[in-house]
Amino acid sequence: MSPRRTETGGRIDRLRTIRFTFDGAPYTGHAGDTLASALLANGVTLFGRSFKYHRPRGLLSAGVEEPNALVTVLRGEVREPNIPATMVEIYDGLVAVSQNRTPSLAWDIGAINQLGGKILSAGFYYKTFMGPVIGPLKGTRFWMFCEHFIRRAAGLGKAGTAHDPARYERMNAFCDVLVVGSGPAGLM
């Protein structure tokens, strides 16, 4: 038993041990554990990196509102990104991968962004890469080039490309009447 886990209490079945992997490393937990609680019991405290500066992040909450511990769950070729680790119940063979790190959580090359904190102010990309037409760096073209890299640095997981075998309730959203305008004529 982990020294970080109490011997009694909680809603886990301590008689059933479950094996899973996180970022390629094998771990064990108990039936009823979430990915977050099992990783904490195994001594893992680094769950993710901040979006812009890639600063280390641990758990902030125990519910669906958890902003720091977003993981991608892999099931064969199907990948489910952006799931809070606090909402993933572990099962035998679970494969979870952290997000927003290159190449690993412990050593993230994106952390170099912290050195440019003064020039990387909030919203810097909205005004920095757009500008007048000057030589080969034509304002909009330069923005379109930089936009690709900025979006990749945003930290969210990649959506899977394989067929999703899950079944969903179908809902077709459409409108019978579309009212354009907000004046008295649009309300009548």
pLDDT in tens, the chain (188 residues): 466 777 888 889 999 999 999 999 999 999 999 999 999 999 999 999 887 778 899 999 999 999 999 999 999 888 999 999 999 999 999 999 998 888 888 888 877 777 776 666 666 666 666 666 566 655 667 777 777 777 776 667 888 888 878 777 876 778 888 777 767 765 66
CATH code: domain 13-172 is 3.10.20.440
Domain boundaries, the chain: 13-172
Q: Which residue in 94, 84, 113 sits closest to 24, CA to CA?
A: 94
d(CA 156, CA 64): 16
CA gap 31, 12 in Å, rounded: 6
